[in-house]
């Protein structure tokens, strides 16, 4: 437990009569790369939103780097050094790519030195040619990259990515996987994803959610081979 | 401020200063003064709505509160310097309090509109109901629908007998407008302002970056309230009477119309919108053939349908495409990717 960067204990989230996440005990090590999978409605996105502070859990606790963050507002959790990419790219359409990333870098590094980190993030994500374009004019794949640039520029030590490969072309998926592998050398990462091919390519440990609970936790190959996992994905009750 | 911003601000300020200086040769300074006050009031909403994304239906509340605060304080104190500052401070603090309540309560835009509107109406109803002698603040009777007349108007600081009136008051008001414009430009170009624009664009993203959007919106809202209060203070000195009409629904609506017509997302736009419509109202007020508000309503509809971005942004893009056409004709250079400019 002492090595864990993020743990949840008995984490529960109810919406009226529906329990979306039920008593989840979860633990993520330092610099670990973890994928969360599960069929629609399994509770992984709700779990994710509890971690980022966008939802306040009904019960249970969340600890990030030894500090209890249960019920904290998103900005407080983010300012610990947590970078978040949401499911639908959450970017600022009316601003340029550069300004988007500058705002992220400015909060962490201060407005005087932010420029350096902005250039760095733009380089890493290959956003140079579109740096001055308004984000609202960009294609979906580019917006995904801009949002990742926002996360990278904050230099977080814990990164939460919700469906980073969604809607990307084959080539873009490959680049995203490479990017995530690179990032995982300095930060712990949780990826919520549907695309098994993508998960294979980043070769991660996988936590499978089903009906609000953790079904199993293992390496991606073992998970793929598991009969129960196939059952929940096909909607059979085992 | 970046160099381009600085150049832009200096250009607009000098241009505006020249325009304000030569304006008295065409119009009486008495009329011009109120147009400048309207411009200042529009600027306050242009800032919080255009750059913070906060649509406040009750900017008139801060305007009226500034005017009333000045009037009450001037009656009690006499000399105008302290009342002048109180006229800014009081609405600023009130806006901070109201803003904190709304933003920390995570109210959505619709409720924000409703609450600001209702607050204005409460002021309106309350001030109308204060005709009785029991409504006294120090030596100042609130006076109900008759309002408060007979207070000390603006004087040279320290000398209550040296009134700033007529032309001098116009130049003072114009100077205040320019000063506030430069301040607001600076605020928008500062990291605080850039984050505010980020909040307008996507509040959740800003929160996920680790910024406290609630605090920042509250501060921005308070600054907007302070500027509206400043406009109210100047109005009080100009009109030499304050009445509950300052809090009226039509006053609130007018400020929003000024911003839409002038151009939201710019600072010059709302000021120009306020002055043009304010002048139109003044001219229409001198005839009785057709109802004033009917024409203003028509103007709003025409703008929403034909020029939804408002005067200044439309003029700006027309000017840029004209410039582009000339450049293409003279040099035949490839046209660069055009950026939407939202920072006039």
Domain limits, chain A: 1-81+158-172+190-238, 83-155
Q: Which of A103, A110, A131 to mutate to test the interface with B (most CBs of B within 10 A)?
A: A103
pLDDT, tens digit, for every residue of A142-179?
Answer: 888 899 999 999 999 999 998 888 888 888 888 888 88
The two tokens of residue B182 are 């430069």
Residues in chain A within 8 Å Cβ distance of B209: 75, 78, 103-104, 107, 150, 154
CB B194 within 8 A of CB A102: yes
Q: Cβ B212–A73 below 8 Å, yes or no? A: yes
Q: Cβ A75–B197 below 8 Å, yes or no? A: no
pLDDT value for B343: 44
pLDDT value for A235: 61
ipTM: 0.88
Q: Which of B1, B201, B208 to mutate to test the interface with A (most CBs of A within 10 A)?
A: B208
**Segment 210-239 of chain B within 8 Å of chain A by CB:** 210-213
Domain limits, chain B: 3-252
Residues in chain A within 8 Å Cβ distance of B198: 92, 95, 103
Q: Cβ B204–A54 below 8 Å, yes or no? A: yes
Closest CA to B226 of B54, B36, B62, B39: B62
Q: Around Cβ B226, how many Cβ atoms within 10 Å?
A: 24
Q: Say which of A86, A111, A150 has its CB closest to residue B209.
A: A150
Average pLDDT over residues A220-230: 82
CB B34 within 8 A of CB B23: no
Residues A172, A165: Cα–Cα separation, whole Å: 8
User: Which class is A1-81+158-172+190-238 in CATH?
Assistant: alpha beta
pLDDT value for B1: 65
pLDDT value for B307: 86
Q: Cβ B209–A91 below 8 Å, yes or no? A: no
Residues in chain A within 8 Å Cβ distance of B342: 94
pLDDT value for B196: 94
Roughly how many angstroms between the first and final C-alpha of chain A, as a whole number? Answer: 31
Q: Cβ B209–A90 below 8 Å, yes or no? A: no
CB A190 within 8 A of CB A160: yes
Q: Around Cβ B102, how many Cβ atoms within 10 Å?
A: 22
CB B234 within 8 A of CB B171: no
The two tokens of residue B15 are 């241009």
pLDDT value for A238: 43
Mean pLDDT of chain A: 86
Place of tokens 């996988």: A206
Tell me the nearest-neighbour CA distance from A80 into chain B, angstroms: 8
Q: What is the pTM assigned to this prediction?
A: 0.89
* Higher pLDDT, residue A89 or B233: B233
pLDDT value for B98: 96
pLDDT, tens digit, for every residue of A110-123?
Answer: 888 888 889 888 98
Residues B42, B19: Cα–Cα separation, whole Å: 18
The series of mean pLDDT values per 10 residues for chain B, 344 residues long, is 82 90 89 95 95 92 96 91 95 96 90 93 93 87 88 87 88 95 94 93 92 94 96 94 91 91 91 93 83 83 88 86 82 50 44
Q: B287 — contact with chain A (CB < 8 Å)?
A: no
Residues in chain A within 8 Å Cβ distance of B213: 75
Roughly how many angstroms between the first and final C-alpha of chain B, as a whole number? Answer: 14
The half-sphere exposure of A175 on its side-chain side, counting CA atoms within 13 A, is 13
Q: How is the beta sheet containing A18-29 ordered, strand by strand? A: A18-29, A4-15, A59-64, A67-68
Average pLDDT over residues A101-129: 87
pLDDT value for A234: 65
Does residue A218 have a pLDDT over 90?
no
Q: A69 — contact with chain B (CB < 8 Å)?
A: no
Residues in chain A within 8 Å Cβ distance of B210: 75-76, 78-79, 107-108, 154
Q: Which band of pLDDT confidence, cut at 50, 70 and 90, is reported for residue A21?
A: confident
CB B266 within 8 A of CB B312: yes
Q: Cβ B339–A108 below 8 Å, yes or no? A: no
């Amino acid at each position: 437990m002492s090595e864990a960067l993020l743990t949840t204990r008995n984490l529960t989230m109810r919406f009226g009569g529906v329990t979306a996440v039920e008593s989840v005990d979860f633990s993520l090590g330092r610099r670990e790369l973890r994928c969360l999978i599960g069929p629609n409605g399994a509770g992984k996105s709700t779990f994710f939103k509890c971690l980022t502070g966008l939802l306040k859990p009904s019960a249970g606790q969340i600890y990030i780097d030894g500090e209890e963050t249960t019920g904290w507002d998103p900005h407080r959790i983010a300012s610990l050094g947590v970078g978040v990419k949401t499911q639908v790219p959450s970017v600022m359409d009316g601003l340029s790519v550069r300004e988007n990333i500058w705002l992220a870098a400015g909060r962490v590094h201060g407005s005087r030195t932010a420029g350096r980190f902005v250039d760095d993030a733009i380089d890493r994500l290959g956003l140079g040619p579109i740096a001055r374009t308004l984000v609202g004019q960009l294609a979906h794949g580019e917006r995904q990259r801009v949002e990742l640039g926002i996360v990278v520029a904050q230099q977080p030590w814990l990164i939460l990515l919700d469906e980073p490969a969604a809607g990307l072309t084959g080539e873009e998926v490959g680049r995203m996987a490479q990017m995530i592998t690179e990032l995982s050398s300095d930060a712990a990462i949780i990826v919520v994803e549907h695309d098994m091919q993508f998960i294979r390519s980043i070769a991660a440990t996988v936590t499978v959610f089903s009906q609000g609970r953790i079904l199993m936790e293992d390496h991606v190959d073992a998970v793929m081979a598991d009969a129960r996992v196939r059952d929940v994905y096909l909607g059979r009750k085992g | 401020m970046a160099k381009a911003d600085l150049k832009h601000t200096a250009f607009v300020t000098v241009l505006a200063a020249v325009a304000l200086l030569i304006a008295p040769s065409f119009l009486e300074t008495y009329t011009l003064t109120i147009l400048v006050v309207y411009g200042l009031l529009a600027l306050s909403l242009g800032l919080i709505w255009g750059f913070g994304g906060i649509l406040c239906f009750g900017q008139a509340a801060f305007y009226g509160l500034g005017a009333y605060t000045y009037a009450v304080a001037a009656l009690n104190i006499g000399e105008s310097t302290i009342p002048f500052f109180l006229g800014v401070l009081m609405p600023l603090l009130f806006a901070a309090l109201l803003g904190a309540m709304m933003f920390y309560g995570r109210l959505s835009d619709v409720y924000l509109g409703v609450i600001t509107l209702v607050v204005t109406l409460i002021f309106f109803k309350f001030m109308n109901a204060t005709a009785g002698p029991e409504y006294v603040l120090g030596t100042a009777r609130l006076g109900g629908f008759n309002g408060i007349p007979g207070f000390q108007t603006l004087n040279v600081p320290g000398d209550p007998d040296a009134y700033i009136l007529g032309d001098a008051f116009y130049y003072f008001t114009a100077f205040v407008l320019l000063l506030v414009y430069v301040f607001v430009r600076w605020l928008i170009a500062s990291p605080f302002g850039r984050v505010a624009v980020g909040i307008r664009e996507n509040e959740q993203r800003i929160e996920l970056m680790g910024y406290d959007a609630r605090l920042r919106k509250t501060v921005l809202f308070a600054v907007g309230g302070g500027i509206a209060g400043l406009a109210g203070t100047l109005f009080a000195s100009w009109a030499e009477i304050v009445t509950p009409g300052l809090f009226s629904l039509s006053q609130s609506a007018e400020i929003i119309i000024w911003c839409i017509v002038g151009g939201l997302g710019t600072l010059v736009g709302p000021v120009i919108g306020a002055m043009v419509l304010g002048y139109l109202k003044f001219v229409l007020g001198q005839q009785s053939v057709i109802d004033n508000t009917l024409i203003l309503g028509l103007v709003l509809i025409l703008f929403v349908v034909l020029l939804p971005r408002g005067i200044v942004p439309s003029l700006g893009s027309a000017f840029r495409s004209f410039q582009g056409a000339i450049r293409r004709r003279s040099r035949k250079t490839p046209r660069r990717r055009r950026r939407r400019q939202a920072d006039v």
